């Protein structure tokens, strides 16, 4: 992996995660509710891990590709239904969505970090989505990880 690629992906992970932490702390603090903190805390921990992933990638630490692959992979799915929903993104997302009830495709673009989890909200429609940007980054990291493993096997 080129150094500029490591730096760009590392900065995206660090900056997006720092923004996510700020948004999470602000949301939990403004609610003043212990339950809100319990729901938001796992996302804040994910964003803290995202900062660690970004720094590890920039510093070329062992295992950085694998941890970043997981971090970006967690950002790929978007799911919403009356029973449960999930969205997690750090820094940037470009998402294609499909709503089966209306047979409708949608497109979301977001510059910034966002997270959402929902349980038992009857007003939410069924929506499936995929963050194309996170998918592209995850595929890139996967190819880099395979390339690195292939080179290690060739050396041995």
In the chain, where the domains are located: 3-155
Query: Look-up: residue for tokens 């673009």?
Result: 109
Q: What is the pLDDT of residue 156?
A: 58
Q: Cα(108)–Cα(95) distance, rounded to whole angstroms?
A: 5
Mean pLDDT, consecutive 10-residue stretches, the chain (156 aa), reads 94 95 88 82 95 96 95 95 92 90 87 87 90 96 90 70
Q: Cα(143)–Cα(94) distance, rounded to whole angstroms?
A: 21
- Phi-psi region at 91: left, alpha or beta (left = phi > 0; alpha = psi -120 to 50): left
3-class DSSP state of 134: helix
Q: What is the pLDDT of residue 43?
A: 93
Q: Cα(27)–Cα(34) distance, rounded to whole angstroms?
A: 12
Count Cβ atoms within 10 A of the Cβ of residue 154 and give its class: 0-12 exposed, 13-18 middle, 19 or more buried. Answer: exposed
Q: Cα(90)–Cα(38) distance, rounded to whole angstroms?
A: 20
Single pTM value for the model:
0.89
Q: Going by C-beta distance under 8 Å and a sequence separation of 6 or more, which residues neighbour residue 67?
A: 49, 52, 53, 56
Query: Look-up: residue for tokens 């720094």?
Result: 55
């Amino acid at each position: 992996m080129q150094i500029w690629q490591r730096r760009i992906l590392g900065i995206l992970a660090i900056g997006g995660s720092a923004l996510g932490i700020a948004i999470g702390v602000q949301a939990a603090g403004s609610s003043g509710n212990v339950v809100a903190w319990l729901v938001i805390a796992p996302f804040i921990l994910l964003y803290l891990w995202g900062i660690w992933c970004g720094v590890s990638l920039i510093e070329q630490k062992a295992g950085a590709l694998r941890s970043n692959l997981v971090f970006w992979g967690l950002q790929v799915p978007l799911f919403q239904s009356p029973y449960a929903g999930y969205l997690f993104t750090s820094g940037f997302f470009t998402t294609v969505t499909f709503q089966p009830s209306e047979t409708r495709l949608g497109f979301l673009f977001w510059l910034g970090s966002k997270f959402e989890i929902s349980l038992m909200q009857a007003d939410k429609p069924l929506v499936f989505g995929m963050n194309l940007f996170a998918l592209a980054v995850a595929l890139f990291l996967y190819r880099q990880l395979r390339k690195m493993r292939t080179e290690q096997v060739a050396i041995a």
